[in-house]
Amino acid sequence: MIDPPGDRRPPLTPQLALRVAVAGSVALALFAVIFFRLWFLQVLSGTQYVNAAKVNRVRDIAINAPRGDILDRNGAVLVDSTKELAVQIVPAELPVPVNTDDVLKVPRRDAIVYNRLAGVVGMPTRRTRCPVPMPPPSCTTTQCPKSTVTRLSAIGCQVAQQVARLPYADVTVKSPVSRAVQFYLAERQLAFPGVAVQQIYVTGYPQHTLAAQALGTVGPISPGELHARAYRGATRNSIVGQTGLEAEYDAFLRGTPGIQKVQVNADGQPTGSLSTTAPVSGHDLQLSLDAALQRVGQRSLAESISQNDGAGGAFVAMNPTDGEVYGMGSEPSFDPSIFTKPLSDAAYAKLNSAAAGQPVVNRAIQGAGPTGSTFKPITATAALQSGDWTTTDTYDDTGQFCVGTGAAGQCRHNAGHAVDGVLALPDAIRVSSDDFFYNLGAKLNVDPTAHPTGGPLQQWARAFGIGRATGIDLPGGLTGTLPTPRWRQSRNRLEQECDDATGPFKGKPKHPPGGCGIADGTNRPWSIGDNISLAVGQGDVQVSPLQLAVAYAALANGGTIVRPHLGLSVQDQDGTVLQRIDPPPSRHISIDPLYLDTIREGLREATSQAGGTSYDVMGKFHQQVYGKTGTAQYFSAQDAETDYAWYACFVPATATSKPIVVVVWVEKGGFGDVGAAPVARQILSQWFYGKPGPYVAGSSTSL
């Protein structure tokens, strides 16, 4: 074969040799660069990249620990943690993964899955109102509302709400579900992308409404709580105590979440489990609460409320010596298990509504009002200790007590215009003579300018814990109010500011003078009337049932202000006590034993002698009960005058090996002997005899 002439060439011209050399050098240089770079990446910094690869593929998934149980003093289970099957949506595995920035839009392909699932688990597919806790996506200012209301199906709404609150976490759609549902969904995985059936721990309440407010509720942790000290160690999908004991002892009950190290691929899908650190379940909490006493108390209280057409009520039963709370009930009650599932807004509103009696409010610590005559022993202590009265002094109760003269004078009289005659202190307590204590109130009044914090009455009331925190192991307790000249001044100032729309009321509408109703009229100074009212537990004084129980415990134990507590011990799963809960008393008040005996004599006679205010209820009870009725007159706009029934009593350690103090309060329950004392009697009967006995309604109309 002959090459065309133009193509013939010598094999290697110097020119070509040069160019080949250039090309070869370039190749050599580039190979050198690549080798050096590879050496750097793989040999010199290899370890760093090995770690980077590990970070890439390993995700930590928190496994919630089962919460510890809450037991009563005898070991009965009040709250436990049960396993159940839950249908969950895994937002990242839906046909269209949920966009965490815009959860309000439900992609069509996801909606198909939701509707298909709704059919399986029996949930409505109709679109209804759905508030989602995120600002509307269209809103770009800082003044955006915190939540957006849209219309979504039940499942779509749950996914939107929970993803808005907790992106990436699995959304529990329904629990519990049956095994049948689990198998049905497992067999049709392709038709239900993003749907999983998993075992979850659910807080259970085998005793339902028993001590619901004290036990409290649990719920998913909120972003704010995640950084709170109290919830240290919680993870983004932790279930934490929200109220009551569950919140107070959350650190013990919560346990330590486990960590599952999961290998994921580039799409974030798990490809295998690398290691699992098992969750450590929470410790158990044993309470001083006696479930049987609690049940009797709640049932009896409910009966009183229904018999007397009351609005609600509370009771506290406590050991007067060490502050162990045997029972703490508030009616109406609720079943806390509703908080373990997504709760509709309407249901939540109902739990807090006045019409439904605000079941979530723990009236024993969060309800406070004037105590009525149950305050009288405190007044008596103040009068005796201050020397304004002696154990032998008497007062002639003519049925009317007047202070001042002329136009400034005012007269008050006993309930039912009773005329009690000449009374010593024990007699006055027995019959609950108002005039007697009006007189003491007047005697104990001091010059408000010289003593802005009040006289002996305020000092002793404060010593008994009126207007002060009890220190109980429950969040949210009220401190109440102890009226003093200074307190009245501050109310007057507030009234003024409210009327003028200044200070904290700036920007709010103005009111006519005294129109806000914060103070009694405008700028009314402290008067002797204030002290007289306080002496009989009426007027502005605000006391919670627990505060009153602490005060009566001091009368029972001789002056020790105990620190009430529901927690008894923290235990591990085997029942080994890890920590005892035995708080020392708050303080000790020094009361002359003779005075204490005098007051106790009155309290004993009130229950045991004919004419005593609670004789008809307690007279036949075979224990040394010291008790005082109270009927607080409460004025409100709707009801001209309503009576709140109180009863406070104790059986001291000197009379029994099982001392107890019981306080019962029934809102709009009428007279103390009628509305409250019968409940106390049943509680005492349960405590001493193991059975509630009959419901004995009293008939005394003393305040």
Binding site for other proteins (CB under 8 A): 1-4, 6-9, 11-13, 15-17, 19-20, 23-24, 26-27, 30-31, 33-35, 37-39, 41-43, 45-50, 52-54, 56-57, 263-267, 271
Neighbours of 345 (CB within 10 A): 11
Coil/strand/helix, residue 597 = helix
The angle formed by the CA atoms of residues 350, 352 and 357, to the nearest 5 degrees, is 85
Rounded Cα distance between 379 and 396, Å, is 18
Q: Which is nearer to other proteins, 3 or 101 (CB)?
A: 3
**What is the DSSP track for 528-578?**
HHHHHHHHTT-TT-BB-HHHHHHHHHHHHHTSEE---BSEEEEE-TT--EE
Rounded Cα distance between 630 and 439, Å, is 18
Q: Which is nearer to other proteins, 266 or 637 (CB)?
A: 266
What is the closest distance, in whole angstroms, from the C-beta atom of residue 48 to other proteins in the complex?
7
Residue 388: what are its φ and ψ, rounded to 5°?
A: -75, -10
- Strand pairing category for 400-403 and 148-152: unpaired
Place of tokens 């349960």: 686
Rounded Cα distance between 490 and 249, Å, is 36
Rounded Cα distance between 370 and 539, Å, is 7
Q: Which is nearer to other proteins, 273 or 353 (CB)?
A: 273
List of residues 6+ apart from 485 with CB closer than 8 A:
448, 449, 451, 452, 453, 454, 525, 526
What is the closest distance, in whole angstroms, from the C-beta atom of residue 213 to other proteins in the complex?
51
Q: Which is nearer to other proteins, 30 or 191 (CB)?
A: 30
What is the closest distance, in whole angstroms, from the C-beta atom of residue 101 to other proteins in the complex?
18
What is the closest distance, in whole angstroms, from the C-beta atom of residue 97 to other proteins in the complex?
17
Coil/strand/helix, residue 428 = helix
What is the closest distance, in whole angstroms, from the C-beta atom of residue 263 to other proteins in the complex?
7
Cα–Cα separations (whole angstroms), residue 189 to 110, 164, 262, 265: 14, 26, 21, 20
Rounded Cα distance between 59 and 618, Å, is 66
What is the closest distance, in whole angstroms, from the C-beta atom of residue 61 to other proteins in the complex?
16
What is the closest distance, in whole angstroms, from the C-beta atom of residue 11 to other proteins in the complex?
7
Q: Which is nearer to other proteins, 27 or 191 (CB)?
A: 27
Q: Which is nearer to other proteins, 41 or 422 (CB)?
A: 41
What is the closest distance, in whole angstroms, from the C-beta atom of residue 16 to other proteins in the complex?
7
Q: Which is nearer to other proteins, 31 or 689 (CB)?
A: 31
148 touches 134 (CB < 8 A): yes
Q: Which is nearer to other proteins, 15 or 449 (CB)?
A: 15
Amino acid letter for position 651: V
What is the closest distance, in whole angstroms, from the C-beta atom of residue 43 to other proteins in the complex?
6
Radius of gyration of the chain (CA): 36
Place of tokens 């049987």: 292
Rounded Cα distance between 437 and 422, Å, is 13
Q: Which is nearer to other proteins, 274 or 278 (CB)?
A: 274
- Strand pairing category for 567-571 and 577-580: antiparallel
What is the closest distance, in whole angstroms, from the C-beta atom of residue 117 to other proteins in the complex?
29
Residues in the chain: 703
Coil/strand/helix, residue 645 = strand
Q: Which is nearer to other proteins, 44 or 450 (CB)?
A: 44
Would residue 639 be called left, alpha or beta, if left means φ above 0 and alpha means ψ between -120 and 50 degrees?
Answer: beta
Rounded Cα distance between 29 and 18, Å, is 16
What is the closest distance, in whole angstroms, from the C-beta atom of residue 265 to other proteins in the complex?
4
Q: Which is nearer to other proteins, 33 or 228 (CB)?
A: 33
Chain centroid offset of residue 330 CA: 12
Coil/strand/helix, residue 239 = strand
What is the closest distance, in whole angstroms, from the C-beta atom of residue 276 to other proteins in the complex?
19
What is the closest distance, in whole angstroms, from the C-beta atom of residue 18 to other proteins in the complex?
10
Bridge partners, residue 602, by sequence: none
Q: Which is nearer to other proteins, 12 or 450 (CB)?
A: 12
Angle between helices 545-557 and 593-608 (to 10 degrees): 120
Q: Which is nearer to other proteins, 8 or 417 (CB)?
A: 8
